[in-house]
Amino acid sequence: MDYEYAKHIKPGTAAGVASKVWVMRLVVLAALAAVAFVVLGSQTPSPGVTLRFELYEAGVKKSDLFTRPDVAAAVFVRAVTPDGEAIVFSGPTRGSVHIPAGALADVAKNWTELLRARGHDPEDFFTALIVSLAVVNKTSGKPLFYTTYFLDYPPAKVARGDRELIYTLHVAKGRGEWRAHVAKVDREEKRGLFASYGSAPPSMKPPSVEPPKDTWCEVVNPEPPAFICWYRKAWVGVGNLTAVFPSTYFADYNGRLYMKVPVVIAVNNFTYSGSVGLSIIGGILTTSQLAVGVSLSVPGNSRSSISLASWSWGGKQYYLADGLFLGPTSSGWIWILGRPVFVSYDVYYEGPIGREYIREEDYFYIADIYISGSTIVSGKDFGLPQEIIDFFYGGVDKQRLSISNTALSDGALQPGETMWFHEIFTCGTGFEVDIPVGAVVLAVLTRTPIPITLPKGVFPGIDISLSIQGAMIEVAGSITNYGDYPGVPTDYNAPEYIYAAVSKYQYTATDLWGNTCRYQVPPVIYIEAR
């Protein structure tokens, strides 16, 4: 019905009644359309990654902090790339944030194309988002919660651009503390219509101030202006390592540089000794995944603690196998090819009261490991990686092994006996091989002055882990005393006393209620036979 005609119709006439019915129908249809819009809008996934945060103090939920007017919160997200990391989001939060697929498109496509070029299915692969959450009292500038977590996600799903990945991070702390940890992560996936990658990442600039390079500030209060800022003050990647380590430590694959990082170091010290063999094996099972861990250093009042902050690289159906055979007075190491990274940030709240320091954040990870198909490329060299060993010894204690109900129950490995690594290093379920990235990074820091407060004496003891996750398989390995081995003229049928290196520094693991477990980890598998 034409509007100009309808407005001249008199009430009470047949035409007027018809007009009234017509208007009511329009109102009903408009209401139904609005309801449909709201319902469909709430159910249609928004492609990309959504992060939700639940806060707990001593096990009590505190997520209402996000709604308080005197509280500001911001999220800073970096995506691990094959070369290191890229900033994909910085923004305020009231309990959740959404990172559109467009902001992650280049990173996700880079990973999937790289894996396909190596002959590996990208559907089996995961990498990480480095998520930092800061919750601050706006009046005092003091932090209420702060945490950083490496959230693993599948880039292949993001690259398709047709689904929303939803992660709920349960962030917990002890009573009266502000340093927090992610106690668990809930994961959900929603499929929707394909979305193009045309959407740009959100702005990461204060409204009127251009931040300097390597600085990311987020407005958390417009008037008076207040910001939470992350200042990156140190970055060590493979490119920084070439000036410190021999060229034989590096390999170039399709224009990307990788470094040998040790996973097994072995020394057969003495002249009167048997021949010793070592092996490491990680198998392929579809129910398990191989993952590379992350170390996050948290400066404390007296000393730093180190926590394993989830994973930076991994997936299903990977295979690793290598071994060493060492006669008397010989040594060697087994390596994989990786791209180690160390990053250091200072975090500040900047508001009307001035600048309030929140914390320093130091973390270590391996951005990428070189694979061919499903095989992790590895190798071995004889002698020791001296540039690493020089620092490695400063971060470990050597312990002579005597383990009941094993081949070492009498304190020595007799000729013909084998000791399995899972009998030596046991922590819960599964077994982890630790990679001494701290010793690698320290070799650079001693030659390049970098303003970090983390004591340099802590670096040698910082490691990241290579582990198999899943009930069906472990990273397996063994040490065998072959005694007088045929064809080796200088060995003897002599018992071997086995020494293992354990980090001097404690790692922490904390549950939802703030209960903390401290434990030591073996940096690399270091075995010394005497």
> Both tokens of residue 502?
């354990």
DSSP letters for 224-248? TTEEEEEEEEEEE-HHHHTTTS-GG
The whole-number average pLDDT for the span 310-323 is: 78
Question: How much is the pTM?
Answer: 0.79
Is the pLDDT reported for residue 200 higher than 50?
Answer: no
Residue written as token pair 């540039």: 387
How far is residue 171's CA from residue 58's CA, in Å, rounded to a whole number?
Answer: 11
Classified as helix, coil or strand, 504 is: coil
The whole-number average pLDDT for the span 192-207 is: 43
Query: Per residue in 238-257, is it b (16+ CB within 10 Å) or e — as a string?
Result: bebbeebbeeebeeeeeeeb
- Are 239 and 455 in contact by the 8 Å Cβ rule? The answer is no
pLDDT (tens digit per residue) in 236-266: 888 888 888 889 999 998 888 999 988 888 8
How far is residue 135's CA from residue 65's CA, in Å, rounded to a whole number?
Answer: 8
How far is residue 395's CA from residue 387's CA, in Å, rounded to a whole number?
Answer: 14
pLDDT (tens digit per residue) in 330-379: 999 888 898 988 888 989 998 877 788 888 888 888 889 898 888 888 89
> Both tokens of residue 476?
């397996």
Q: What pLDDT is attached to residue 473?
A: 42
Q: What share of the chain is helix, strand, coil (3-state, %, to 5)?
A: 20, 50, 35
Q: What pLDDT is attached to residue 476?
A: 65
Is the pLDDT reported for residue 522 higher than 70?
Answer: no
Q: Which residues pair with 361 in a beta bridge?
A: 345
Q: What pLDDT is attached to residue 499?
A: 84
Burial of 451 (0-12, 13-18, 19+ CB in 10 A): exposed
pLDDT band at 113 (very low <50, low <70, confident <90, very high): very high
CA nearest to 351, candidates 229, 522, 177, 505 = 229
How far from 467 is each of 159, 319, 367, 474, CA to CA, in Å?
27, 12, 16, 8
Q: What pLDDT is attached to residue 55?
A: 96
Amino acid letter, 125: F
How far is residue 335's CA from residue 524's CA, in Å, rounded to a whole number?
Answer: 10
According to DSSP, the β-strands at 418-420 and 516-519 are: unpaired
pLDDT (tens digit per residue) in 438-479: 677 777 677 666 666 665 666 656 666 665 554 334 456 789
Q: What pLDDT is attached to residue 193?
A: 55
Residue written as token pair 């190491």: 333
